Amino acid sequence: MTSVLATLGAILRRPSGAAGLAIVVLHVLIAISAPLIVPHDPALQDSATILQPPSTVHLFGTDRLGRDVFSRTLLGGREAMLITTLSTAFAMAWGGVLGVLVALVGGKLDALVMRVVDALVSVPWILLVMLFVTALGTGTAALVPVLGFSYGLSVVYLARSAALDFVTRDFVLAAQARGESQWTIASRELLPNVRDSLAVQGAMQWSWIFLAVSSLSFLGMGVAPPAPDWGQMISDSRGIMRTAPWTVIWPMFFLSSLIIGINLAIDAWAKVLGIDRVQRTPGP
């Protein structure tokens, strides 16, 4: 707990880190409290208020179906954040464990696993994800395993690369000499040593997966209506950008500000840990 607070304090002492964390925390607070503070039903359609500009009644105006843009924008990140968080956890869990294990075992297993991963990442991620989404459907239950698997492929590369720096160290060789199992060595000796690199990678994966969820929603394959989503809102309003720009500006602003905040916080966190920000490895 002390180390976590010390790390958090070091991040906050960096202007970019403080700004990034403030933006992220604000978005999280909005997502949590949105159901309690939105003034209108986000799914309510009213033909009498179609495409009204911002006013005291509708702070962000209304869309082409007369729905309140302010309410939909505040609620627009909730389900995407949930899907992203669960997908990131899944990707980091299976990708991190597999990458460390193949680095430790080596030999034919390492070669086989990495060739399979190479084959999968050679397919454009959007095609891979769309294939699975078409087969399994949309919604949280379908998107979490699909995105978690797709984005976990790049985690395998990172975890394996980081673990290879430790598999020949004395403490690993000593554990092998004691007859400890491969799983015990991986979990007790290797994973703690690659934890920081994986943590930074996980934060970056979160921002990439969030963009993927928004992209899928834009294409009509992400968050299922009537739940509001920023990508879905942008897609619905792209044909009326000139006549009703408020229907696009606000979801775009909220989406971009969250991604910017996350990246600012990640940059500061990586510098505090003494890690060069992890570059995107082959994969989604």
Least confident residue range of 13-17, 41-45, 134-138, 254-258: 134-138
Residues contacting residue 173 through CB under 8 Å, at least 6 positions apart: none
249, part of any domain: yes
pLDDT at 202 exceeding the cut of 60: yes
CATH number, domain of 129, equals 1.10.3720.10
Rounded (10°) CA dihedral 145, 196, 204, 90? 10
Confidence band (pLDDT; 50, 70, 90) for 271? confident
Whether 93 and 196 share a structural domain = yes
Whether 175 and 211 share a structural domain = yes
Q: What is the pLDDT at residue 155?
A: 93
Cα dist. 76→100, 132, 138, 218, 250 in Å? Answer: 37, 24, 16, 12, 10
Whether 105 and 215 share a structural domain = yes
Confidence band (pLDDT; 50, 70, 90) for 277? low
Confidence band (pLDDT; 50, 70, 90) for 160? very high
Residues contacting residue 40 through CB under 8 Å, at least 6 positions apart: 58, 67, 68, 70, 71
Half-sphere exposure of residue 31, counting CA atoms within 13 Å on the CB side? 19
Q: What is the pLDDT at residue 249?
A: 95
Q: What is the pLDDT at residue 122?
A: 85
Whether 176 and 253 share a structural domain = no
User: Shortest CA distance to 156 belongs to which of 192, 204, 102, 106?
Assistant: 102
Whether 26 and 100 share a structural domain = no
Confidence band (pLDDT; 50, 70, 90) for 282? very low
Q: What is the pLDDT at residue 278?
A: 46
Angle between the 246-273 and 230-237 helix axes, to the nearest 10 degrees?
Answer: 140
Whether 173 and 246 share a structural domain = no
Whether 131 and 91 share a structural domain = yes
Burial of residue 55 (CB within 10 Å: 0-12, 13-18, 19+) is exposed
Phi, psi of 62 (to 5 degrees): -125, 160
Number of domains in the chain: 2
pLDDT one-digit tens code per residue, 248-260 = 999 999 999 999 9
pLDDT at 2 exceeding the cut of 70: no
Q: Give the end of a domain, one of 166, 191, 222.
A: 222
Q: What is the pLDDT at residue 279?
A: 46
pLDDT one-digit tens code per residue, 102-142 = 999 888 899 999 999 999 888 887 787 778 777 777 777 88
Asked whether 250 and 228 are in contact (CB, 8 A), the reply is no
Domain that holds residue 156: 79-222
Name the residue with tokens 């899944």.
90
Q: What is the pLDDT at residue 188?
A: 86
- Round the average pLDDT of the chain to a whole number and report it: 88
Whether 53 and 117 share a structural domain = no
